[in-house]
Amino acid sequence: MYGLHLTGVTGTGLLPASAADAARPRIVIRHARQDPEPECMGTARAVLGLPAGRQLLLSRGEGTATFTGPRLSDDELVHPYLGAVASVFSRWGGREVFHAGAFVFGGLAWAVVGGREAGKSTLLAALAAREVPVLADDLVVTDGHQAFCGPRTIDLRQLAPGATAPVTPVRDASRWRLALPPLPGAVPIGGWIYLCWRAEVGMHAVPASRSLARLAVRRSWPALPSDLQVLLALSARPAWDLGRPADWTRMDHSVDLMLQTLQAAILPQASGRPQASGRKSSSPASAHALRKPATSRAATAAESR
Residue 277 has pLDDT above 80, yes or no: no
Q: Return the DSSP state at 40.
A: E
Given pLDDT bands bounded at 50, 70 and 90, which one contains residue 281?
very low
What is the model's pTM? 0.85
**Pairwise CA distance, residues 256 & 56, whole Å:** 41
The tens digit of pLDDT for each residue in 162-173 reads: 566 777 777 777
Average pLDDT of span 81-104 = 95
Average pLDDT, the chain: 84
Helix (H) or strand (E) holding 211: helix 208-217
**Pairwise CA distance, residues 137 & 75, whole Å:** 15
As a whole-number percent, the residues of the chain with pLDDT over 90 amount to 56
Per-residue confidence (pLDDT) for residue 178, from 0 to 100 = 85
Given pLDDT bands bounded at 50, 70 and 90, which one contains residue 295?
very low
Per-residue confidence (pLDDT) for residue 16, from 0 to 100 = 72
Per-residue confidence (pLDDT) for residue 115, from 0 to 100 = 85
**Pairwise CA distance, residues 1 & 64, whole Å:** 15
